[in-house]
Amino acid sequence: MTTPVFVGLDIGSSRTKVAVIDADREVLGHAVRKSGTDFTATAAACLDESLEMAGFRRDGIASAISTGYGRANVAFVTTRHKTEIGCLSRWGRDRFHGAITIIDIGGQDNKVIKLDPDGRRAGFKMNRKCAAGTGAFLEEMSMRLDIPLEAMDGLARQSQEMVKLGSYCTVFSATEVLENIRHGKKVPDIVKGLFYSVVRRVLEMDSHAGRVVMTGGVVAHNPYIVEMAGEMTGRPVLFPELPQLAGAIGAALYALDEADPIGIRNDIPAGETDG
């Protein structure tokens, strides 16, 4: 094919995500894998998988941008990087066209990003110091409960009497989980309590007026968390298509922006920069 494509690579500490888009900003191919210990090899495998889905080869890439924890590990395809905050903002501006709050729950950190009515970033907050409320927290709890991580969403939905946990700390929460098991509490009720703890943690990071959308691998695999967030805020929370790929798609949009500096296709707000 002669039509060029644009690639975004989001190299997270837990998962690597790649998205391939065309000049009309449509996602043609994508892939997600565990990052493992060789970020470069994982990114290359995700890239090739995404390109195969899109029906392209590497020589069809017009531009590529990387982001995430391991963004410097993909020199084989690009040396240009953007921040995770910037890429999520770029994705949100493109997909929602107006004021919105993005809540991203990742493997190691959470982010709350606010965009103003013009799609410019109005502020953001991150949780980097503690694993509580992240994907790592749920992975640890799934091991404590001896259940598959992918089974947690279904179990939480079965809960009849949620067990609320008193601690945000992963270590202390694990102790609480064991205590609840010892006292005969049902696993679905404990899992829903864990989900509640995650949602409460991210909602308390910042205010969330207006439209709210949730992204990240945690909500991609546990959509019940989005429903719980809606119940706790008293209004629906948006659950986008391909939520785990939001950062990678944002990076791909930046790649398209740089290949099209006039900005006619991209609706780039004047003065918008990455941060």
Q: Could you write out the DSSP letters of every residue in 146-188?
A: T--GGGHHHHHHT-SS----S---HHHHHHHHHHHHHTT--HH
11-15, 60-64, 206-210, 235-239: range with lowest mean pLDDT: 206-210
**Any idea where the domains of the chain sit in the sequence?**
5-81+244-259, 98-240
Q: Name the fold adopted by 5-81+244-259.
A: Nucleotidyltransferase; domain 5 (3.30.420)
Which pLDDT score, from 0 to 100, does residue 169 have? 62
Q: How confident is the model at residue 183 (pLDDT cuts 50, 70, 90)?
A: confident
pLDDT top residue among 1 and 37: 37
Which pLDDT score, from 0 to 100, does residue 206 have? 86
Which pLDDT score, from 0 to 100, does residue 132 have? 63
- Do 98-240 and 5-81+244-259 have the same topology in CATH? yes
Element (H, E) at 121: strand 121-127
108-117, 141-150, 164-173, 236-245: range with lowest mean pLDDT: 164-173
| Other Cβ atoms closer than 10 A to 109 | 22
Statement: residue 269 has pLDDT above 50: no
Statement: residue 175 has pLDDT above 90: no
Q: Closest by alpha carbon to 249, among 132, 43, 86?
A: 86
Which pLDDT score, from 0 to 100, does residue 176 have? 84
- Report the Cα–Cα distance between both ends of the chain, in Å, rounded: 34
pLDDT top residue among 247 and 14: 247
Residue 37 phi, psi dihedral angles, 5° rounding: -105, -5
**What's the CATH superfamily of 98-240?**
ATPase, nucleotide binding domain (3.30.420.40)
Element (H, E) at 8: strand 5-11
Mean pLDDT, the chain, whole residue set:
89
**Cβ atoms of residues 9 and 66 within 8 Å:** yes
**Cβ atoms of residues 67 and 83 within 8 Å:** yes
How far is the C-alpha of 39 from the C-alpha of 205, rounded, in Å? Answer: 30
Which pLDDT score, from 0 to 100, does residue 267 have? 40
How far is the C-alpha of 96 from the C-alpha of 210, rounded, in Å? Answer: 12
Which pLDDT score, from 0 to 100, does residue 268 have? 40
Mean pLDDT on 57-74: 95
Determine the length of the chain: 275
Which pLDDT score, from 0 to 100, does residue 92 have? 97
Statement: residue 107 has pLDDT above 60: yes
**Cβ atoms of residues 7 and 63 within 8 Å:** yes
